[in-house]
């Protein structure tokens, strides 16, 4: 299971790219992230990877 709680991230100028995101993915679940080009969809995956790799 992957669980992310209350994640927020913003650029230096205060522009929010993630605001209080919560995500819970149960074992065996297939999911995807849908959105327009430039919506920072890949950022969610990078955030999870870097925050779990170095804990």
Question: What is the rounded distance in angstroms from the CA atom of residue 9 to the CA atom of residue 42?
Answer: 14
8 Å CB contact between 43 and 21? no
Domain ranges of the chain: 2-53
Q: What is the pLDDT of residue 27?
A: 92
Q: Answer yes or no: are the C-beta atoms of 24 and 3 closer than 8 Å.
A: yes
pLDDT digits (tens, 9 = 90+) for 1-55: 878 888 887 877 888 877 888 888 899 998 887 878 877 677 766 766 666 665 5
pLDDT at position 50: 67
pLDDT (0 to 100) of residue 18? 78
pTM: 0.51
**Residues 40, 4: Cα–Cα separation, whole Å:** 17
**What pLDDT, on a 0 to 100 scale, did the predictor assign at position 48?**
66
Pairing of the two strands 16-25 and 2-10: antiparallel
């Amino acid at each position: 299971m992957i669980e992310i709680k209350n994640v927020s991230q913003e650029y230096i100028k205060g522009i929010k790219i993630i605001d209080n995101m919560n995500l819970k993915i149960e074992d065996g679940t297939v999911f995807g992230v849908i959105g327009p080009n430039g919506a920072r969809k890949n950022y969610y995956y990078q955030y999870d990877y870097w925050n779990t790799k170095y804990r």
